[in-house]
Amino acid sequence: MTRALYLIGPPASGKSTVMAETLNLLGLVTGEAYQPWPVKNTEFRAEPLLDIIDGHQRGVSLGVTRPGGFPGTDAIGMAAQPDAVGWVTESDELPHLIVGEGMRLATYGFLAPLAVRSRLLVLYLNAPDEVLDARCEARGSNQKPQFRKTGATRARNLAAKLREHGVLVQDCPTETMSVPEIAAEAAFHLA
């Protein structure tokens, strides 16, 4: 059965960092981006997850790697959602592993069918506003506080809705859980 991991949370909650560490723990790297589904547009992208030892593909990372080496769906276009849903609902067979992070595909319409077709774990990363604000300032982010608050509300509401419908969602308070601890939980689920 397909094993899937998706990370949600507000900006600066650590999604990209946790995903990078999870892939490192699993000995996986991403390859060149491609369209995993015959899309109507060019927005839906994924990258193969390659084993660092033998180079074989073990699954896919949804989205594309951004500058700095961080994978994620936030680098794909807004129009990717319908094709991503088509891929997860209509593909004859899904890859062995599917990972993703970021709010672009963090919707009930995508994650609920993914949960039906895989063993999905959603990690909900969060921290208090003052911690998130400090992280944004430290990395030189120009995101407005209202944008971050909207992202936090959206992630919190999505986590609650997924739980209501039986999807496995784990809270990960990033002010008390370290990146290695969260990544270890994620890697254990995918192994």
Beta strands in the chain (DSSP E): 3-8, 28-30, 46-51, 57-62, 97-101, 119-126, 168-173
Domain 3-190 class?
Answer: alpha beta
46-51 and 28-30 as β-strands: parallel, antiparallel, unpaired? antiparallel
Tracing tokens 């699993």 back to the chain, one arrives at 26
CA 43 – CA 144 distance, rounded (Å): 26
pTM value is 0.94
CA 81 – CA 87 distance, rounded (Å): 10
The Cβ of residue 76 has, within 10 Å, a number of other Cβ atoms equal to 23
- Per-residue pLDDT reduced to its tens digit, 81-120: 999 999 999 999 999 999 999 989 999 999 999 999 999 9
- Per-residue pLDDT reduced to its tens digit, 137-171: 888 887 787 888 898 999 999 999 999 999 999 99
* pLDDT score for 5: 98
- Per-residue pLDDT reduced to its tens digit, 50-74: 999 999 999 999 998 877 777 789 8
**How is the chain split into domains, by residue range?**
3-190
* pLDDT score for 143: 79
* pLDDT score for 41: 66
